[in-house]
Amino acid sequence: MLDVRGLKKVYEGSGRRVEAVRDLTFTVDAGELVCLVGPSGCGKTTLLKCVGGLLTPSGGEVLLDGRKVSGPPPGMAFVFQEYGRSLFPWMRVGENVELPLKQKDLSKARRRELVRDALESVGLADAVGAYPWQLSGGMQQRVAIARALAYEPRVLLMDEPFAAVDAQTRADLEDLVRGLWRERGITILFVTHDIDEAVYLGERVIVLSASPTVVREQLKVDLPVERDQLHTRVDPRFAELRTHVYEQIQAAKKGAAAS
Amino acid sequence: MRGVNAALGAAGLAAFLALGEAVPRLGLVEEAYFPPTSRIAEALADEAADSAFWTALGDTLTGWALGLAIASCAGIVAGVLISVVPYLREATASTIEFLRPIPSVALIPLAVLLYGTELRSVLLLVVYASFWQILIQVLYGVQDVDPVADETARSYGLGTWARIRHVLWPTALPYVMTGVRLAAAVALILAITSELVIGAPGLGKRIGVAQASQAVPEMYALIVVTGLLGLLINVGARTVERRALAWHQSVRGEVAV
C-alpha cells in the first residue's frame, strides 16, 4: 500500500549541507500498524513529512497504491506532535474537525455525521462547541485524531503524537489508537522516539539508524493483537522485544559516534 | 475594583472640569482666550442646536469613514498579495520603507492642486495616512502564521485560497484589528487637519471659522467634539476587536484546564 523506495533528503542552506535521510526503503501493507523508532535527531519527522507529501525528497520516491506522492495525497491524514498549534484556536472543536471535509465533495449532513462519529470515537462527543484551548492537552490531541478520522484516510501518519502529554494520558491515547486501528482497519505509520511505545503499539517496528538515516532493522512484534497496558507491558516477550530494540538503538547511536 | 476605578475616573474628570472653570474665573489666565468650562458647555449646547454643526459633523465623519474603509480594503488586499506572491515582499520592502514615513500633511499642496476643497482632497490625505498603518500590520500578521498550522492545512489538501481564508486571515486578524484601530485615530486627525488647512467642509473648517471670527468658546466647543469623536472611535474599535478576537489569547486570557 505504502511503498518507500530509496528515500533521500538533503537540506541545503547557507553553505551547510545536512543529509537528514540517506537511503530508506520499506513498505507498509494495507491495514498494518507500523512504528518507526530511532535515536533522537535521526530525521524521523523529515521522513514522515516526505511520506505525507509535505516535503519533496531529494532522491527516491514514495508510492501510495502505486502512485507517486508529489503533494499531500487525498487518502492520507497527518497527526502532528504539536496539537496546540495544529488545531486552529479560532475555530470550535466541531469546525476544526469539519474543515478538511469541506475540501471534499460531501453534503452538509454527511459532514455533520462524520464529525459526530469521529468525535464519538475519541470520546469527545460533547466537546463539539468548545474551543480547543479550553481543553486539556490530551483532549486536544484527541480532537486532532478525530479530525484525521473524519477525513476517512486510508493511511494515517502520526508524528510523535504523544510526546507532549503526561504518562497517564499517553497510555490512554495509545490504547485509543490501537482500538481505532482495529475498529476501522486504517493503515497507520506511527513515528516515535519511545521504544516501549513502539513495541506496545506496533505490529511491526522499523528501527532507524542515526542520521544520515537508513533502516537498521525491521522487527515483527509477535505479541497478541489484544493488548492492554497492565498485562502486555509485563509480558516476558514484550521485555525481550523492547530490550532488543533498545540495544539496536544504542548501537545505532554508537555507530553514529564512530563514523 | 471596577466600580472603584470608575468612581476615581469620574472624580478625576470632574476635578479637571472644575479646574477649567476656576482658573479663568480667578483671573489666572485671560478669559478671552481660555473661557471657563461653563461657557464652553453653553457654546456646545448652541452648536448642538445649529443644523450647520450637524452637517459639518456629517462631512467629517463621511471623510473619515470613507477614507478608513478605502485604506482598510486597499491595505488588507495589498498586504495579503505582497505576502502570498513569491518575491513580492522583498521587491516592495524598500519602496514601502521610503513612502511610509512621508507625513500625510506634506501632501496637502498636492491635494489642493488636484482636487481643491472637495471631499476627494480629504480622502487623499486620510487614505494615504491610514493605508500604511494597516499595510504594515497585515504584513506582520501574515508572517505570524504558524508553520504547523499551515502544514496541517496543506496535509488536508487545502488549496491556496482555502489556506488564506482559514489560516492566514484568522492569524493576521489580531494585527489587522490593531492596524484598523491605529488607522481610525490617524484618519480622524487627517480629516480634521485637511478641513482646517484646505477648508474642505467639516468640523475642521468650522473650527477655523470660529477662530477667525473670535468666537473663542465655540472654537473650544468644537475641539471638545473632535476629542469626543476620537474617544468614541477608540472605544468602538476596541469593542469590535474584543468581539472578533474572543478566541485570541490577548482577549480570552489564561484559561484553566
* Nine cell digits for residue B234: 477608540
DSSP bridge pairs for A77 = A156
- Which residues of B fall within a CB distance of 8 Å from A102? 162
- B11 and B113, same domain (yes or no): no
Do A18 and A10 touch, CB atoms closer than 8 A?
A: yes
- B178 and B209, same domain (yes or no): yes
pLDDT of A258 above 80: no
Record: contact A134-B247, CB cut-off 8 A: no
- B79 and B26, same domain (yes or no): no
Confidence of residue A253 (pLDDT cuts 50, 70, 90): confident
Q: What is the pLDDT of residues B13-64, one digit of tens each?
A: 999 999 999 999 998 888 888 999 999 999 999 999 999 999 999 999 999 9
Q: Which of A90, A101, A134, A155 best tests the B interface by mutation, with the highest count of B CBs <10 A?
A: A90
Confidence of residue A187 (pLDDT cuts 50, 70, 90): very high
Q: State the pLDDT at residue A20.
A: 86
Interface membership of B144 toward A (CB under 8 Å): no
- Collapsing DSSP states into helix, strand and coil, what is residue A11? strand
pLDDT of A259 above 90: no
- B168 and B158, same domain (yes or no): yes
Q: Which residues of chain B have pLDDT under 50?
A: none
Confidence of residue A252 (pLDDT cuts 50, 70, 90): confident
Interface membership of B162 toward A (CB under 8 Å): yes
- Which residues of A fall within a CB distance of 8 Å from B170? 88, 90
Record: contact A103-B158, CB cut-off 8 A: yes
- B24 and B96, same domain (yes or no): no
Record: contact A133-B255, CB cut-off 8 A: yes
Dist. CA B45–CA B51, nearest whole Å: 12
Q: State the pLDDT at residue B255.
A: 60
Mean pLDDT over each residue of chain A, to the nearest integer: 91
Do A131 and A87 touch, CB atoms closer than 8 A?
A: no
Record: contact B149-A88, CB cut-off 8 A: yes
Q: State the pLDDT at residue A1.
A: 86
Record: contact B247-A89, CB cut-off 8 A: yes
Interface membership of B154 toward A (CB under 8 Å): yes
- Which residues of A fall within a CB distance of 8 Å from B158? 99-100, 103
- Collapsing DSSP states into helix, strand and coil, what is residue B87? coil
pLDDT of A175 above 80: yes
Do A114 and A150 touch, CB atoms closer than 8 A?
A: yes
- Closest C-alpha among A22, A30, A31 to residue A50: A22
Confidence of residue A40 (pLDDT cuts 50, 70, 90): confident
Interface membership of B254 toward A (CB under 8 Å): no
Give residue B55's identity as a one-letter amino acid code. Answer: T
Question: What backbone phi and psi angles, to 5 degrees, belong to A8?
Answer: -140, 135
Do B217 and B41 touch, CB atoms closer than 8 A?
A: no
Q: State the pLDDT at residue A256.
A: 61
Q: Which residue is associated with the grid cell 514522515?
A: A48
- B25 and B144, same domain (yes or no): no
B191: left (phi over 0), alpha (psi -120 to 50) or beta: alpha
pTM over 0.90? The answer is no
A66: left (phi over 0), alpha (psi -120 to 50) or beta: left
Cβ atoms within 10 Å of A90's Cβ, excluding its own: 20
- The total of structural domains in chain B comes to 2
- Which residues of A fall within a CB distance of 8 Å from B255? 133-134
Identify the domain containing residue B219 by its residue range: 35-255
- B116 and B200, same domain (yes or no): yes
Record: contact B255-A134, CB cut-off 8 A: yes
- Which residues of B fall within a CB distance of 8 Å from A78? 151-152, 155-156
Q: State the pLDDT at residue B35.
A: 92
User: What separation in angstroms does the CA of A183 have from each of A127, A159, A178, A190, A223?
Assistant: 22, 21, 9, 17, 18
Q: State the pLDDT at residue A254.
A: 81
Q: How many CA atoms lie within 13 A of A153 on its CB side?
A: 30
CATH number of A2-75+155-258: 3.40.50.300
Q: What is the pLDDT of residues A228-244, one digit of tens each?
A: 888 899 999 999 999 99
The CATH number of the domain holding residue B101 is 1.10.3720.10
Q: Considering only alpha carbons, which residue of chain A is nearest residue B151?
A: A54
- B72 and B172, same domain (yes or no): yes
A76-79 sheet: strands from edge to edge: A67-68, A59-64, A2-13, A16-28, A213-220, A204-208, A33-37, A187-192, A155-159, A76-79
Q: Percent of chain A scored above 90 by pLDDT?
A: 71
Q: Which of B144, B154, B156, B254 best tests the A interface by mutation, with the highest count of A CBs <10 A?
A: B156
- Which residues of A fall within a CB distance of 8 Å from B166? 88, 91, 99
- B125 and B5, same domain (yes or no): no
Nearest Cα of chain B lies from the Cα of A216 at a distance, in angstroms, of 28
- B200 and B238, same domain (yes or no): yes
Record: contact A103-B157, CB cut-off 8 A: yes
pLDDT of A211 above 80: no
Q: State the pLDDT at residue A257.
A: 55
Nearest to B247 among A53, A90, A103 (CB): A90
Looking at chain A, the domain(s) classified CATH 3.40.50.300 span 2-75+155-258
Dist. CA B239–CA B194, nearest whole Å: 28
- B107 and B173, same domain (yes or no): yes
Mean pLDDT throughout A14-38?
Answer: 90
Mean pLDDT throughout A8-16?
Answer: 84
